[in-house]
């Protein structure tokens, strides 16, 4: 579009053709003996490939996404490389954000941790991918409890960008924050009201509304009028009802400005705001202690505290909702979601999917993780998850430069993989062998490893209804056979897929070639 404001970087227009892969459960690593019906998923593999694998099955189903991507700080962490060239970092993020947005439900939200190095660029990128109208706010998290004196100006905070699919639905569905003990202590009951402790809140509102400009007469006869520039919050008849119900106070001596009594038992909680101090949601020292207690001193340098993730999940979801983290790291999001009774999908590429994420979740399930939010949510153990690996690439190149189907794929895997590529869900029919996958109504996909000849095709056509449409994907077929029937399309598997995807690529972390030097 001409004159559009746009963030540009080297390689932005280079298409990334991601191969949809199957997810294969590794039953030896799954931990679901106590919860055989669990839908919790821990996925090992490149998160772009994994997200592509989830895209069809979980389209519009995820309630809350939290990600803590590499910050592109210029430092190399022990467990992954955070030293990406700037354009590479943007190119890494964009396709992942595109799929994540597709996975969000209509009332869902995505929360992204970031610091000053890439915050502004990420904001513009998210505006472009999600739509600027979907930006809700930027949270400031106080990550330190003591001053940072090593820099010119001490670094004390990070950001969490928040985007939502629908602002009205998110507001209606988001949860209030519970009152802290300190906040509850502000509620008193000086008049022994049977409804319990209360605090007074203002009855004044800014502005001028004629029907809210009346005079209030206190029990002692003192008259009260709204000060200049203000009016009462309610009309006179509503005030009289509150006064009759003993919901109005005039202070201890009866001479105070009238205020409404807000009872602790009626308080929904606090509306979340954008300042999250460390005493409420934890700090980096707390998070390091949490993971060190689980894994020892060789754990992650930059984990997030469980209390921080707990607040996000509490605001954005309810028990049973799906939480997704595609940069799972040490497994904090999955562990917190598990303790809070949410379903979750966690994706991690490195070996720490085995050494950290799995180990942490196993301890949570066994009730052996006593840190983080365990005590506050009264976690006792239980539940389960399934461990998945990404299937190998579907198509390989042989010694002669020809593209062939990977020999590791059996007939069922091949049918499911081709269905995934075609946007179908693999669901074999119990009666007709060729009805392997159902897409739109009366449209079907049949995948076979055999050579297709006229006799075999006729046997299929004779069982089809006149209004049914069929795509047949096979290794090879007789010449001219693809024109035999108007409602049957025949394709050779490698050729039908090669133009769409980049096969054989297992790591999309560095997907851009450095520009030439001049």
pLDDT at 439 over 70: no
Its CATH class, for the domain covering 23-110+279-390, is alpha beta
pLDDT digits (tens, 9 = 90+) for 455-490: 999 999 999 999 999 999 998 899 889 888 999 999
Q: Which of 98-112, 166-180, 420-434 has the lowest mean pLDDT?
A: 420-434
Give the burial class of 385: count Cβ atoms within 10 A of its Cβ; 0-12 exposed, 13-18 middle, 19 or more buried. buried
Tokens of 163: 């985007």
Q: How confident is the model at residue 94 (pLDDT cuts 50, 70, 90)?
A: very high
The pLDDT, as a whole number, for residue 261 is 97
CA atoms within 13 A on the CB side of 333: 28
The pLDDT, as a whole number, for residue 510 is 52
Q: What is the sign, positive or negative, of the torsion defined by CA atoms of 47, 50, 52, 57?
A: negative
Q: How many Cβ atoms are within 10 Å of 450's Cβ, its own excluded?
A: 11
Tokens of 16: 């990334």
Are 396 and 406 contacting, i.e. CB atoms less than 8 angstroms apart? yes
Are 500 and 16 contacting, i.e. CB atoms less than 8 angstroms apart? no
Q: How confident is the model at residue 298 (pLDDT cuts 50, 70, 90)?
A: low
Q: What is the sign, positive or negative, of the torsion defined by CA atoms of 218, 223, 229, 234?
A: positive
Are 270 and 179 contacting, i.e. CB atoms less than 8 angstroms apart? yes
At residue 314's C-alpha, the angle toward residues 309 and 316, to 5°, is 95
DSSP, residue by residue, 92-121: HHHHHHHHHHHHEEEEEEEEEEE-TTTHHH
How far is it, in rounded angstroms, from Cα 238 to Cα 431? 68
pLDDT over 90 percentage in the chain: 69
Q: Which of 22-36, 241-255, 342-356, 426-440 has the lowest mean pLDDT?
A: 426-440
How far is it, in rounded angstroms, from Cα 230 to Cα 209? 9
Tokens of 160: 């969490």
How far is it, in rounded angstroms, from Cα 114 to Cα 302? 12
What number is the average pLDDT over the span 171-177? Answer: 97
pLDDT digits (tens, 9 = 90+) for 351-372: 889 999 999 999 999 999 999 9
Residues 305-320 as b or e (16 or more Cβ within 10 Å = b): bbbbbbbbbbbbbeee
Place of tokens 């196993």: 362
Closest residue by Cα to residue 101 from 135, 145, 144, 74:
135
Are 24 and 386 contacting, i.e. CB atoms less than 8 angstroms apart? no
| Collapsed DSSP state (helix, strand, coil) of residue 314 | helix
How far is it, in rounded angstroms, from Cα 429 to Cα 437? 8
Dihedral angle of Cα 99, 361, 509, 73, to the nearest 10 degrees: 110
Domain ranges of the chain: 23-110+279-390, 181-266, 395-498
Pairing of strands 135-142, 403-405: unpaired
The pLDDT, as a whole number, for residue 316 is 98
Per-chain mean pLDDT for the chain: 90
Q: How many Cβ atoms are within 10 Å of 361's Cβ, its own excluded?
A: 24
Q: How many Cβ atoms are within 10 Å of 422's Cβ, its own excluded?
A: 19
CA atoms within 13 A on the CB side of 84: 23
pLDDT at 416 over 70: yes
Are 326 and 349 contacting, i.e. CB atoms less than 8 angstroms apart? no
pLDDT digits (tens, 9 = 90+) for 283-297: 999 999 998 899 886
The pLDDT, as a whole number, for residue 20 is 93
Q: How confident is the model at residue 56 (pLDDT cuts 50, 70, 90)?
A: confident
* Alpha helices in 139-189, H assignment, sequence order: 167-173, 181-184
pLDDT digits (tens, 9 = 90+) for 490-510: 999 998 898 888 898 898 875
Are 511 and 88 contacting, i.e. CB atoms less than 8 angstroms apart? yes
Residues 284-299 as b or e (16 or more Cβ within 10 Å = b): bebbbebbeebbeeeb
Tokens of 24: 């294969």
Chain centroid offset of residue 374 CA: 22
In the chain, count of helices (H) and strands (E)?
15, 26
How far is it, in rounded angstroms, from Cα 350 to Cα 70? 13
């Amino acid at each position: 579009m001409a004159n559009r404001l746009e963030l540009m970087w080297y390689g932005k227009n280079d298409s990334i053709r991601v191969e949809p892969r199957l997810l294969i459960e590794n039953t030896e690593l799954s931990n679901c003996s106590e919860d055989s019906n669990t839908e919790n998923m821990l996925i090992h593999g490149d998160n772009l490939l994994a997200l592509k694998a989830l895209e069809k099955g979980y389209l519009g189903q995820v309630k809350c996404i939290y990600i803590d991507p590499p910050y592109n700080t210029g430092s190399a962490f022990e467990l992954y490389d955070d030293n990406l060239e700037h354009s590479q970092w943007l190119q890494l993020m964009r396709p992942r954000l595109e799929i994540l947005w597709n996975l969000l439900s209509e009332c869902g939200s995505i929360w992204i941790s970031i610091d000053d190095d890439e915050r502004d660029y990420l904001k513009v990128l998210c505006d472009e991918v999600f739509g600027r109208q979907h930006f809700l706010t930027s949270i400031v998290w106080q990550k330190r409890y003591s001053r940072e004196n090593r820099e010119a100006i001490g670094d004390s905070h990070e950001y969490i960008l928040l985007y939502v699919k629908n602002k009205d639905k998110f507001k209606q569905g988001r949860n209030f924050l519970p009152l802290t003990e300190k906040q509850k202590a502000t509620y008193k009951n000086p008049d022994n009201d049977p409804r319990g402790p209360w605090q007074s809140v203002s009855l004044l509102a800014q502005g001028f509304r004629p029907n809210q400009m009346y005079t209030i007469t206190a029990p002692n006869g003192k008259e009260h009028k709204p000060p200049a520039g203000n009016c009462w919050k309610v009309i006179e008849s509503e005030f009289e009802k509150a006064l009759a119900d003993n919901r109005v106070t005039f202070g201890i001596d009866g001479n105070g400005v009238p205020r409404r009594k807000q009872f602790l038992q009626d308080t929904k909680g606090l509306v979340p705001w954008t300042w999250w101090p460390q005493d409420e949601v934890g700090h980096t020292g707390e998070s390091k202690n949490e993971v060190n207690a689980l894994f020892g001193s060789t754990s992650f340098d930059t984990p997030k505290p469980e209390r921080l993730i707990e607040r996000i999940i509490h605001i954005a979801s309810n028990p049973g909702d799906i939480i997704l983290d595609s940069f799972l790291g040490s497994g904090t999001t999955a562990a917190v979601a598990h303790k809070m009774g949410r379903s979750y999908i966690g994706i991690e590429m490195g070996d720490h999917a085995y050494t950290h994420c799995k180990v942490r979740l196993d301890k949570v399930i066994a009730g052996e993780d006593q840190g983080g939010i365990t005590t506050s949510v009264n976690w006792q153990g239980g539940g389960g998850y399934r461990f998945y690996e990404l299937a190998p690439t579907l198509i390989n190149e042989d010694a002669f430069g020809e593209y062939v189907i990977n020999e590791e794929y059996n007939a069922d895997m091949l049918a499911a993989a081709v269905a995934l590529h075609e946007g179908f869900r693999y669901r074999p029919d119990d009666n007709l062998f060729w009805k392997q996958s159902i897409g739109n109504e009366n449209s079907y996909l049949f995948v076979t490893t055999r050579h297709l000849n006229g006799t075999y095709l006729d046997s299929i056509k004779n069982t089809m209804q006149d209004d049914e449409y069929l795509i047949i994907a096979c290794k090879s077929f007789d010449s001219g056979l693809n024109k035999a029937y108007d409602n049957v399309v025949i394709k050779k598997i490698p050729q039908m897929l090669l133009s769409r995807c980049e096969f054989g690529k297992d790591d999309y972390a560095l997907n851009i070639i450095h520009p030439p030097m001049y």
